[in-house]
Structure 1
Amino acid sequence: MRASFQLLAAALIMGGSAAAMAANDGQARVNELLSSAPEYRQTWMGVIKKEERLPDWVINLSGASEQQMNAVTEDGEPYLVGPLCETADSCKSKRLIVAFSLDKEDAYAMLVEVPAGLPADKSPTRHATYRFLGKPDEGMQGLLQEQLRKDPNWY
């Protein structure tokens, strides 16, 4: 009986540490990813390698990232997803929604640009241009768009 209890306790501790590690993955911000693990940088460089005319903040994922990334699932696969803005002040007009697979082997993004100085009474949704990076399928495109729609300032 005592041995069973010890095995159960050990299993709970091991499971808890795995859950804590998974939860820690969600504590990252997009602008911290490339410096956190070489696999992120390698995967991201593969995504942008053939893209033309990307701004430096997108190439280096070096913009402002005030929100932590969230763990989401697309087609049964787990991803870390989060926003990145050129600057904190320009977030309404220049932002990137990024998704990395938890194994760090796949990455996708959606670059969203709205004309600067758009009057407050104009919907950014109707005036935005969207550019997908990493060749996301329809499901992943939908996931990236859904993340954008969750922003209370996006209408």
Structure 2
Amino acid sequence: MSVSLKGLAAALLLGGSAMAMAANDGQMRVNQVLQADPQYRETWQHVVKKEERLPEWVMNLSGKSEQQMNAVEEDGDKYLVGPLCELEASCLNQRLIVVFSFDKDEAYAMLVEVPAGLPADKSPTRHADYRFLGNPNEGMQELLMEQLKKDPNWY
């Protein structure tokens, strides 16, 4: 089954409101959202303006994003979520998981940093620092963590 057929099948299974969700699902990468719509930019700027010592690629969502954003649901609300790294090569050591609400009024993120040079036999999960942006509630923090766990290189 092709990716678009899987998306359509999932939308049909989820019901009518999921059809609108599927229209946006996977068509954009995190590093494209700020250019796609001024409302995304405004919402993101509101999130990062209060934060201190964030890397420029996080402030501008200008890193590498190999995966398209996906539609997810949390507590009855719909969101677009996707990963971002400064460079593809540095993704294991530093990555950002970004979430935008479908109405573009809310944004949250989790910056994950793992010490460089961590031996391959050491679990990145146990050595990572997690920094939440946008003051996400517990449910949103869990959603962000679940997105990270979907990475096959994260254990």
Same fold (TM over 0.5): yes
Residue aligning to 1:25: 24
Aligned 1:3-14 pairs, distance under 5 A? none
**CA radius of gyration, larger in:** 1
C-alpha deviation, 1:22, in angstroms = 3.6
Structure 1 position 150, deviation (Å) = 0.6
Match of 2:10? Answer: none
> Is 1:130 aligned with 2:130?
yes
The SS at the match of 1:39 is helix
Q: CA separation in 2, counterparts of 1:134 and 1:98?
A: 10
Counterpart Cα distance in 1 of 2:22 and 2:143: 20
1:6 maps to none
**Residue type of the alignment partner of 2:109:** A
Per-residue CA distance 1:82-135 (angstroms, 9 max, x = gap): 000111000000000000000000000000000011111110000000000000
Q: Which runs of 4+ in 1 moved over 4 A?
A: none
Q: Which runs of 5+ in 1 are unaligned?
A: 1-15
1:71 matched residue in structure 2: 71
Alignment of 1:135-154 (within 5 A): 135-154=135-154
Give 3-state SS (helix, strand or coil) of 1:111's partner: strand
> For structure 2, which runs of at least 5 residues remain unmatched after alignment?
1-15
Cα RMSD between the aligned structures? 1.3
Q: TM-score, normalised by structure 1?
A: 0.86
For 1:9, the equivalent position in structure 2 comes to none
